[in-house]
Every structure is written in structure tokens, then in C-alpha cells.
Amino acid sequence: MKRVKILHTADVHLDSPLHSLMIKEENLQETVKTATRSAFKKIVDTALSEEVAALLISGDLFDGDQLSAKIVVFVIAQFTRLQDAGIQVFYIKGNHDAKNTLTDITEFPENVHIFGGRGGRQQIRNSDIWIHGVSFNKKQVPESLLPKFCKPEPDAINIAMLHTSLARSGGHDTYAPCSVSELAGMGFDYWALGHIHKRQVHSEAPWIVMPGIPQGRDIGEEGPKSATLITIDGKDISVSEILTSAAEFIKVPVKVDGIKNDEELSRRIKDVLSNCCKDLTSEAGVIRLNINGKTERYWQILRNQDYWRETIIKQARETDCLYIETTRFDDLEEKTEGTTNTTSAIMELGNLMDKICLEPAFISRLREILDDVAIEIPSERRSRLIPDGSTTEKLVQTLLKAGATAIFAAMKKKEE
């Protein structure tokens, strides 16, 4: 059999919004809005440039039940590009697109095969490669789908497509559960998985690959994202990673140890952002900057947080590729030499604020204020910011600590 290439992706979540609430840059807003489409277009571009025989989409091509006409037209256009090049598309539905009726009534190009909930198999043209797949036929599939797979074709390369949480992977709902050992015992040469958004190669004999999400959507999905290129040469199979993300989320620490003045801090931040820009593999980087370390300028930095946030936004904008999601000062610590110069009055205020923050009535009032503010936030964003009661309590404590620290920092200025 001649050498054959196949591209494997999953969890594209077309038109799913990137979840950062803090992005205000106009230039970035358009990049963010179209990021999932850009990533899918890169996947198609790669399929064409690598002259693959097939594109495998292992679930969640779409993000939900409702599809706009615009996104349907976009997908058909991309599939048509592949059809014109003689590239087949094999697609299984996952938990997000299981009930997408438009995928049932839309007339996709002839090169697209969507597997049903009962499972099935298809042969790649002019090859001894068989693609097996089972789609979700409902949003929640708590049972294993392995019994629905056909037996592998003898004397051929067999690739199986499955959307699965495996053995309850952390951070993901349990769908179509199974173990790596169960997959390995099925007799397939390559498992093209989907559902878990972090790339992982679970096995190489046989290959069991979770390609990860091709475009991260928030800081929890940080770093460059990719698809997987499969190369089949006779009976030998190898895989490689193909970068796809249009924008990547990055956590960037800036150490303040040894900083003596504002000029030094500004220069250090600029150097960190410059290095981050050089290492960037996507078109844009969405940065969560964390000012951390021990410094004698602890109170000055905290007092001037707004100034530093604006300075950092300006420095990032000058790179033409980095944008600030947020800047945090949570891990900043005070470096003290010998005895403190803090006056007894300020120390007394600090102790008083600590006691107030523990008062049940004060906490209850802050919780009421937070509830009033939350009502004004759109429901989708509110559910992400405050998903449950424990998150509310944690946010209340965070706000209490931040407010007390801000007041204390302002009072410290009086003694300088």
C-alpha cells in the first residue's frame, strides 16, 4: 500500500465564544470572534497542503443545537474545498452536536460521511484503510459505545473514531466511558478520539490519540493548540502535531524581586512581554499577567495597580500581537528588612479591618451586594463567573481581602 496521510481533529466548537470577559481591544475582538473558524480553516489548509486522503472529525464540530446559516455556509465551503481536492471527510457527532438537526437536513458535499448512532464503517478510496465510527444520538451517553463497533477488517489498516471521556478524565463530564486497555484490546490500529480538550497520546501500540481542542477558548485551555497528522506507510503508522490556533491564552509571570523603582519594573515587564512575543506560535496571544515575588515596593505597587494595568496594556499593544486579558497582583509579597516603620495607628486599622472581614453581618451584606451586581450580568457570563454557592463564597472572601489591602495600601502612603 502506498503512503497515505490522514488528518485527525475534534472539539472544533465552531462559533463557540472565547470565554474571556476582560478583552476590550478592538483589534483582538475580531480575532477572538472568528478564532474557531480560523482554526478550522487552518485544518483544511493543512489537509490540502499535506495532500491527505481524509479528514477525521471526532465529535463536536459544532458547539450546540442551533446553527446559523452563516456557519453552515462556512462549513460547506470548507468541505467543498476538500472535495475539489479528492479528500474524504469522516465525522462523528459528540455531546455538543448530537441533536444538531441541520446536520441531518443540510446537503453536505458527497465527500462527507457522517456516522450514525448505530455505528458503521467506510473505506478510504483506493486504499486498504477502513474508518469505523459511532456518533452520539443524544447529548448524554453514560454507557460505553464500544459494543456498537464493527470488527476490524482483516489484513487492512483499521481506524476507529470515538467521542469519549475515557475513564472520567478530570474537568469533563462522563460520556461513552471506556478504558485505554479496553480500546487497545479491540484490534484497531488507531483510535481517533475526541471530547477531552487537552492533547494526549495514550498509547502507540495501538495508537490511541486525543488530539485536543484546535482553538483554546479561555485561560484554562492555555497554550498553542493543534490537530494530529497520521502517516501510514504500509503497516507502519506515525503521528505528528500540526499547530492550528489563531489565538492562544498564556499565563505570564513577572518577578519583582530586586526591583528598586518604577523604571526597573516597567523595563522588566517590557522584556517579559517581548520574549513572550518571540515565543508565540499563534497569530495573537491573550495574556494573563501575574506580578509576583517579594519586594520592598510592595505597597507602592498595590497602591498603583490601575497605573500598572494601563502601562502593561500599552506595552502589550506595542507588540502588535499580545493583548492583556487581566493583570493580577495576588502573589505579590512584602519584603521587609528588620523592624517595620508602620505606625501604630495604621497597624490598628489593619487589625480592625481583619476583624470586620470576619463579621457575619458584614459578610452577609457584601453577599447581598454581589447578588445585586450579578443580576445585571448576562446569564451565560454569570454562570461562568459564579457557577455555584461555593464559588460565591470564595469570591466574597477574595473581594474582602482585596478591599482591605487597597485601603491599607492607601493608608501606608501617609507615612512615606
Please identify, among 245, 270, 302, the residue that sits at the C-terminal boundary of a domain: 245
Write the pLDDT tens digit of every residue in 52-99.
Answer: 999 999 999 988 766 677 888 999 999 999 999 999 999 999 888 877
pLDDT the model gives residue 195: 93
Average pLDDT taken over every residue of the chain: 85
Count of domains forming the chain: 3
Residues 208 and 72 in one domain: yes
pLDDT the model gives residue 383: 65
pLDDT, average across residues 274-301: 92
Alpha helices (H) in 247-304, listed in sequence order: 262-279, 298-303
pLDDT, average across residues 28-48: 89
Residues 159 and 279 in one domain: no
Write the pLDDT tens digit of every residue in 139-156.
Answer: 777 788 999 999 999 999
Q: Which residue has the cell 513577572?
A: 254
Residues 85 and 139 in one domain: yes
pLDDT, average across residues 284-298: 92
Give phi and psi for 345, each to the nearest 5: -65, -45
User: Is residue 14 within 8 Å of residue 40, measured between CB atoms?
Assistant: yes
pLDDT the model gives residue 361: 77
Confidence of residue 137 (pLDDT cuts 50, 70, 90): confident
Residues 166 and 51 in one domain: yes
Whether a cis peptide bond, with omega within 30° of 0, leads into 206 is yes
pLDDT, average across residues 125-144: 89
Question: Tell me, what CATH number does 76's domain have?
Answer: 3.60.21.10
pLDDT over 60 (residue 109): yes
Write the pLDDT tens digit of every residue in 312-350.
Answer: 999 999 998 998 988 999 888 887 665 455 556 555 666
Residues 95 and 22 in one domain: yes
Please identify, among 305, 338, 371, the residue that sits at the C-terminal boundary of a domain: 338
pLDDT over 70 (residue 172): no
Prediction pTM value: 0.82
d(CA 335, CA 293): 9
Residues 155 and 204 in one domain: yes
Domain that holds residue 24: 4-245
Residues 316 and 401 in one domain: no
Residues 239 and 367 in one domain: no
d(CA 101, CA 66): 8
Residues 77 and 202 in one domain: yes
Residues 253 and 148 in one domain: no
Residues 318 and 354 in one domain: no
C-alpha grid cell, residue 195 = 471530547
Measured between its terminal Cα atoms, the distance across the chain in Å is 79
pLDDT over 90 (residue 309): yes
Residues 240 and 253 in one domain: no
Please identify, among 245, 267, 290, the residue that sits at the C-terminal boundary of a domain: 245
pLDDT over 80 (residue 47): yes
Confidence of residue 34 (pLDDT cuts 50, 70, 90): confident
